[in-house]
Amino acid sequence: MIASRNIPRIVVAATGSGVGKTTATVALLGALRARGLKVAAFKCGPDYLDPTYHERAAGVRSHNLDGWMMDRDAVVATFARASAGADIAVIEGMMGLFDSATPTGDEGSTAQLAKWLDAPVLLVSDASGVARTIAAVAAGFARFDPAVRVAGMICNRVGGRGHLDLLRAAEPEIPIVGGFPSNTDLAFPERHLGLLMADETNVPQRLLDGWGRLAAEWLDLDAIVALARSAPALEVADASDVKQLDSRSRLRCRIGVAYDASFHFYYEDNLNRLRSLGAEIVNFSPIRDRELPAVDGLYFGGGYPEAFARELSSNTAMLTAIRGFAARGGVIYAECGGLMYLTDAIRTLDGARWPMAAIVPGVCVMSERLQALGYVEVETRADSILGPARTRFRGHQFRHSTLAEADKGGRIDTIYNVAPRWGGAPFAEGYRVGNVLASYVHAHWASNPALADALVEACVRARDARQPPA
């Protein structure tokens, strides 16, 4: 069953990485919200950090849309669900507009998602030191792929009003709907994975408010809203995989999700799949809390455990509680930073060794250099809490650590065959200890919705096995 949905929408793309599309997106979200519009926010690609800025600016959770980890139907369904009731949807791109998984196609690119969503594109360009050349940039992007409608341009890092007028006088094929002057006082803080999480400690509200005010002053918001409203009706499958599962409304289990400054990398779509299957999500903090909530399973996402190694290691009550949960057969699923937390210890760049949960044998060693980056495809070699052997799914890696001093006593299985998307030899990963499964891979369950179902079922089975017979 196909339904037509009228969803005003715009993609904020860029000529390349580092030209300011996240800042432009956050500024636009803030300005639109200040106008009284209800805004839905999205991020193209696997990035976890940019959505935290969207959430602060828009006041709603931001959802990832990924052309490689999700197929077209899943992208459109996720977009339609998350934008329901919104006045306008703003979708931040990734890298350059046409950058993709291959040098000759658009698979996984912002352009692909713009076509799937039939959405007009706002192109952010670094205009510092540029005058008439802006017309050449606009001509290239306007004509490169006629199926992508690049409808407006935002010129970032302009020298002032006169510079912006000069750029418009060059008569680019893409109309310039505004620009931003450089403003170091409002710069967002960064670390090795890029931007810091946009909590109130890292990103004071004055920065977000400041960019929102600049957008209202420097952008033609009326023109941008008109472009978003020019998007045609979107054809949406009336029954997506998640919507079908929504009918199972009764509570089936409770899953504790580690969420604090050390763990906060989660795809909202993954959590929604668990909720739709009858799982209640219960957040807890491995840094602050001294005991686990009453739950049937634990989910540790990625984050920065190395940055909070002292705090995590010193909370021995929580570490003991997690070890006990695992020893009693509790279900634990962990990704990247979560894997690091479950190992014997984390060795930070200064050489310090911080004891952790000691469930997955080995020590995670931090490195200055990036150790893995890119999409991967996983196939399991054995039954696990994510389903039977030969279960397949897609995910992403972005890490600065390796698991060293690994187990030599046979206490742990590696049950993943991991194939990198962009070449490189497949390798074994996916560390299983009883009902614990941990990996460096951030999985997106839209690539195989059965994973969420399997995890909920595993939590129910493990709980029932621990309960004495009536």
* Residue at token pair 């400041």: 210
Query: 365 — phi, psi (to 5°)?
Result: -110, 120
211: its two tokens: 């960019």
| Partners of 280 in the β-ladder | 254
**In angstroms, rounded to a whole number, what is the distance separating the alpha carbons of residues 262 and 224?**
37
Q: Which among 123, 22, 106, 26 is positioned nearest to 72, based on CA atoms?
A: 106
421: its two tokens: 């998307």
Asked if 87 and 71 touch (Cβ cutoff 8 Å), the reply is no
* Residue of 155, 253, 336, 364 with catalytic role: 336
Asked if 29 and 39 touch (Cβ cutoff 8 Å), the reply is yes
How far apart, in Å, are the Cα atoms of 366 and each of 60, 197, 240, 259, 408?
34, 20, 41, 22, 21
**In angstroms, rounded to a whole number, what is the distance separating the alpha carbons of residues 155 and 153?**
6
Asked if 321 and 332 touch (Cβ cutoff 8 Å), the reply is no
Q: Where are any strands of DSSP class E within 326-412?
A: 331-335, 343-347, 353-355, 360-366, 372-380, 392-399, 401-404
Q: Is 44 a catalytic residue?
A: no
Active site residues per annotation = 336
